[in-house]
Amino acid sequence: MALIRALMLLSHEGPISQIKYNRDGDLLFSVSKTPPAMVWRTDTGMRLGTYEFGEKSAISCLDINKDTTRLVTGSAGNMIRLWDCETGACLQTVTTQTSVRTCEFSSDGQIIFYTTDAQRKISPELAILTLKQFEGGAFDYIAQTHITDSKVTAATWGPFDQHIITGHENGSLRFYQADNSAKRVQVLRNEQIHKDTVTDLKMTSDKLFCLSASKDFTAKLSTSDRLENIKTFNTDRPVNAAAISSLRNHVIIGGGQEAMWVTQTHSHTGKFEAKIFHVIYEQEIGRVKGHFGPINSLAFQPDGRGFSSGGEDGVIRMHQFPEIYYDFEFDRFKFDR
């Protein structure tokens, strides 16, 4: 056992919606349901800057390009914003029909996709934009399609950016691929992996597997070429966030009761800890306490030596693993006996 201390980043006024490390792991970006978006230094926990929004709409997603020069955010104010990471200046905006749910840069940082929610009679949308024109002023839609059956709740680029892997409200995972000539996206594969809404979707660092978290109390690891479910991590709570270590065979899973029930229960029973699971044995091996509300977003440090969690309580907690984390060996002979 070891005692560790987390760094608590306290500036956000609303519940944290997403946190992400940049590729080198020296900066942590965070967005919450109340603007602005923020960036933090991960070594000291110092707040480096804020990205100021004009309006007061909830920010739901963010992404950073690989060389940490551009930040993209999507908000409930029907707006995609592109930022300069260093100065905090807003370079460009794209207005969408409805509130934005997910957005992400491609590996080269030249293309982004975004998905939107359903609102009134407008069905959810999946669109891919090229960024070169985007920055110049006029942007170019590579593809734009309305998804009529089930809205996208989580999405990420697949291997080699060939397609987009999406998680849906009905629990399915899908491949969408752009059809350049028709300027549309089409479904390549549709697998019913979960029983309830998919809340988070992460790729391993080699992009061979994707980890999906769901409100059906599980997180599942699937292959990213055929969407075959290979591992299941069972918990006793709705899972809101998951992350995969690049260093060891561990995944970390966070969640808890829905925010609407939190006031009625004690923080002990709310099950707000982050759980560490062994990927291969699908067994829980550790818990990290701290949040007073459900965890909404989790991110492993790119080097796998720590992780951060952002909660409904508006706090981001940055953890560094103690020495015992690296010494731990799963008792593999237990099953042989």
Partner 1 sequence: MFTADDSEWSPDTGRIDWADEMDRISPEGKPSKSTLPDSQNHIDEGKGIRTEISYRYNAKNQKEKITRTYKIEKTAVPKGIALRREWTKFGEAVHDKDGVDMATTKESEEICFRLTTNKDELELGIPKELSGLIDKIKDIAKNESKTEIPTQPTEQSKALPGTYTLPHTRPGYNPGVGGGGYNLDDPQPAVKISNLSLDTTEQDVKELLIAFGRLNRLHMPKDRRNRDSHKGVAFATFQRREIGERVIQKLNGHAYDHLILKVEWSKSQRPRN
Does residue 13 belong to the site contacting partner 1 (CB under 8 A)?
no
Choose the binding region for partner 1 from 2-10, 141-149, 191-199, 252-260 (rule: CB under 8 A).
2-10
Backbone dihedral region of 169: left (phi > 0), alpha (psi from -120 to 50 degrees) or beta? Answer: alpha
Does residue 5 belong to the site contacting partner 1 (CB under 8 A)?
yes
Angstrom distance (rounded) from CA 251 to CA 166: 20
Among 14, 159, 286, 302, binds partner 1 (CB under 8 A): 286
Does residue 208 belong to the site contacting partner 1 (CB under 8 A)?
no
Does residue 289 belong to the site contacting partner 1 (CB under 8 A)?
yes
Does residue 26 belong to the site contacting partner 1 (CB under 8 A)?
yes
Among 57, 183, 284, 302, binds partner 1 (CB under 8 A): 284
Q: Which residues contact 221 (CB under 8 A, 6 or more apart)?
A: 209, 210, 211, 229, 230, 231, 232, 233, 251, 279
Angstrom distance (rounded) from CA 64 to CA 210: 19
Q: How far is CA 25 from CA 21, 162, 216, in A?
A: 5, 26, 31
Question: Which residue number, 217 or 330, has a Cβ lying nearer to partner 1?
Answer: 330
Q: What does the per-residue mask of binding to partner 1 show for 68-97, with x meaning CB under 8 A?
A: x-----------------xxx---------
**296: part of which helix (H) or strand (E)?**
strand 295-300
- Cβ–Cβ < 8 Å for 209, 222: yes
Does residue 288 belong to the site contacting partner 1 (CB under 8 A)?
yes
Q: How far is CA 327 from CA 248, 305, 320, 336, in A?
A: 11, 13, 15, 22
Choose the binding region for partner 1 from 41-49, 155-163, 166-174, 205-213 (rule: CB under 8 A).
41-49
Q: How far is CA 261 from CA 79, 196, 231, 275, in A?
A: 30, 18, 30, 21
Residues 54-73 that bind partner 1 (CB under 8 A): 67-68
What minimum distance in Å lies between the beta carbon of 105 and partner 1? 16
Q: Which residues bind partner 1 (CB under 8 A)?
A: 1-11, 24, 26-27, 36, 38, 40, 44-52, 67-68, 86-88, 276, 283-290, 317, 321-322, 324-325, 328, 330-331, 334
